[in-house]
Amino acid sequence: MKNMFDLILNKLGTIDGRLDAIDQRLDAMDQRLDAMDQRIFSLERRQDEIFEVVKAIEHSNQVFKAEMDSVNLRISHVEGTLNAVGETINKRKIV
C-alpha cells in the first residue's frame, strides 16, 4: 500500500513539474504577446500618422492645383487684353 502511495505521489510530482514547465512557457508566450501587442499598437499609430500626412499632401496638391488654375486664368485674361491692345495699335497705324 505504501509503495502504491509513493508511486502515486511520484507521478503527481512529475505531473506537477510538467504543469510548472507549461506555466513557464505560457508566461513566456504572454510576454511575447504583450510585446507583439505593443508593436502592433506602434505600427497602427505610425500608420495613422502616415495617413494624416498623406491627407495633408493631397490637400496641399488640391490647393496648389486651384492656385495654378487661377494663375492660368489671369494669364489668359492678360494675354487677351494685350492682344486686343496690339490689334488696336495695329489698326491705328494702318489708318
Residue 17: what pLDDT? 87
Average pLDDT over residues 41-52: 97
Separation CA 30–CA 42 (nearest Å) = 18
Q: Whole-model pTM above 0.75?
A: no
Average pLDDT over residues 6-34: 90
Residue 59: what pLDDT? 98
Separation CA 63–CA 76 (nearest Å) = 20
Helix (H) or strand (E) holding 73: helix 2-94
